[in-house]
Amino acid sequence: MTLPPDELRRREFRKILLIKLSAIGDVVHTLPVLNKLRARYPNARIDWVVTPAIGELLRHHPALNNVIDFSRDTSAPPWAWSALSSYTRLAAKLRRVGYDLAIDLHCQSRSAFLAFAAGAPVRIGFDKERPEVWANSRKVTDDFRKHAWQGAREGAWLFYTHRIPLPTMDVHVIDHYQSVGALLGFDASPTDFSFRIPQTAHERVDTLLRQHGIGSARPVIIAPRGNWETKRWPDEKPAEVARHFLKRSKAVVLVGAPRERHVGEAIARLAPGVIDLTGQTTLSELAALLTRAAICIAHDSGPLHLAVALGIPVVALFGPSDTVWAGPYHRDNAVVRSELPCSPCYLRRLKSCTHGHACMNELSTPAVIERAETVLRSTLALA
Is 296 within 8 Å of 307 (Cβ atoms)? yes
Q: Which CATH architecture has domain 199-382?
A: 3-Layer(aba) Sandwich (3.40)
Residue 63 predicted with pLDDT over 90 = yes
Residue 127 predicted with pLDDT over 70 = yes
Residues 198, 196: Cα–Cα separation, whole Å: 6
Q: Measured on CA atoms in the order 344, 308, 18, 282, is the torsion positive or negative?
A: positive
Residue 79 predicted with pLDDT over 80 = no
Tell me the CA distances in angstroms from 41 to 35, 124, 199, 284, one per residue in order: 10, 16, 28, 26
For residue range 199-231, what is the model confidence (pLDDT) as tens digits? 999 999 999 999 999 988 899 999 998 889 999
Buried b (16+ CB within 10 A) or exposed e, 163-201: bbebeebeebbbebbbbbbebbebeeeebbbebbbbeeb
What mean pLDDT do residues 12-23 have? 97
For residue range 168-183, what is the model confidence (pLDDT) as tens digits? 888 999 999 999 999 9
What mean pLDDT do residues 304-320 have? 97
Strand partners, 45: 15
- In the chain, what is the straight-line distance between the N-terminal and C-terminal CA atoms, in Å? 52
Tell me the CA distances in angstroms from 241 to 121, 185, 288, one per residue in order: 53, 46, 23
Amino acid at 324: V
Res 126: pLDDT: 97
- Of 26, 18, 97, 58, the residue nearest 300 (C-alpha): 26
Name, in order, each residue with C-beta under 8 angstroms of 41's C-beta and a sequence gap of 6 or more: 12, 13, 16
Q: Taking the model in full, what pTM does it have?
A: 0.95
Res 167: pLDDT: 86
Amino acid at 316: A
Question: For the chain, what is the mean pLDDT?
Answer: 93
Torsions phi, psi of 222, nearest 5? -120, 125
| Secondary structure of residue 329 in the 3-state scheme | coil
- Of 164, 171, 188, the residue nearest 103 (C-alpha): 164
What mean pLDDT do residues 91-120 have? 95
Burial (CB count <10 Å: 0-12, 13-18, 19+), residue 343: buried
Is 104 within 8 Å of 160 (Cβ atoms)? yes
- Of 35, 45, 30, 13, the residue nearest 189 (C-alpha): 35
Strand partners, 103: 18, 124
Q: Hey, how many other C-beta atoms are within 10 angstroms of the C-beta on 66?
A: 14
Name, in order, each residue with C-beta under 8 angstroms of 203's C-beta and a sequence gap of 6 or more: none
The yes-or-no answer to whether 5-184 and 199-382 have a common fold is: yes
Spell out the domain ranges in the chain: 5-184, 199-382
Residues 116, 124: Cα–Cα separation, whole Å: 10
Q: Which fold has domain 5-184?
A: Rossmann fold (3.40.50)
Residue 75 predicted with pLDDT over 60 = no
Name the more confident of 156 and 227. 156
Is 360 within 8 Å of 346 (Cβ atoms)? no
Residue 47 predicted with pLDDT over 90 = yes
Name the more confident of 217 and 138. 217
Q: What percent of the chain has pLDDT over 90?
A: 83
pLDDT band of residue 195 (cuts 50, 70, 90) is very high
